[in-house]
């Protein structure tokens, strides 16, 4: 495409387009096909550490964000759905959403201790970029045998009613938590509905590639 002078101090074009030979100092050039931004410093175009798309969107494009989920349709009253997420040897950032069809309590613990053997089953762990694929997926277990829950980081009540008056409750943390490397984190939702409940846990962790 032809480079377009959008407004004063702003140009847009493809990464293959020749940038203007000169411009007003402080002008920006956006390569919209690669989301790269360059600044004219008075003598040359210098690439900035700036992403045009929002950070979460860029993590998905980079293949750094994962979808980690657990679902149970038959959690007895006062029983829990447990998901343990283990960070590899680098820090991860995470947001989460937990849902139950009736009243429940959400807990998040750090430094959870698992039995040997750990038991449980593998959670569903998929890369949010389906072109990238799932190689190198982090470890997450549903219902492992826990010998120590660890340090409480977060708890929340999900009001959803009890018995025949039960509706649904949902808890989430939209602001990310930065998780420590090589650490077990327990995400637990405990049924307080008064009878059997359906519950789910969904994490969106991403690698800190900064």
Beta partners for residue 84, in sequence order: 141, 186
d(CA 34, CA 46): 15
User: What count of residues does the chain have?
Assistant: 210
174 three-state secondary structure? strand
CATH second-level architecture of 65-207?
A: Sandwich (2.60)
pLDDT class for 52, splitting at 50, 70, 90?
A: very low
pLDDT digits (tens, 9 = 90+) for 61-99: 778 899 999 999 999 999 999 999 999 998 899 999 999
pTM value is: 0.72
Which phi-psi region, left, alpha or beta, contains residue 41 (left: φ > 0; alpha: ψ -120 to 50)?
alpha
pLDDT digits (tens, 9 = 90+) for 80-90: 999 999 999 98
User: Can you give the residue ranges of every domain in the chain?
Assistant: 4-52, 65-207
């Amino acid at each position: 495409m032809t480079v377009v002078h959008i407004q004063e101090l702003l140009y847009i074009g493809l990464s293959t387009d020749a940038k203007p030979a000169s411009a007003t100092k402080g002008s920006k050039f956006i390569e919209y096909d690669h989301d790269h931004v360059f600044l004219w410093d008075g003598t040359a175009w210098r690439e900035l550490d700036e992403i045009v798309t929002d950070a979460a969107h860029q993590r998905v494009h980079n293949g750094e964000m994962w979808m980690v989920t657990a679902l149970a349709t038959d959690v007895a009253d006062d029983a829990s759905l447990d998901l343990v997420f283990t960070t590899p040897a680098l820090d991860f950032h995470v947001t989460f959403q937990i849902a139950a069809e009736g009243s429940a309590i959400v807990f998040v613990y750090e430094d959870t201790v698992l039995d040997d053997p750990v038991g449980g089953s593998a959670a569903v762990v998929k890369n949010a970029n389906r072109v990238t694929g799932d190689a190198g997926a982090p470890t997450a277990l549903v219902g492992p045998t826990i010998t120590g829950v660890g340090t409480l980081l977060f708890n929340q009540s999900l009001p959803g009613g009890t018995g025949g008056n039960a509706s649904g409750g949902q808890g989430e943390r939209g602001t990310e938590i930065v998780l420590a490397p090589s650490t077990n984190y327990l995400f637990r939702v405990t049924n307080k509905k008064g009878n059997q409940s359906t519950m789910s846990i969904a994490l969106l962790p991403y690698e800190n590639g900064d």
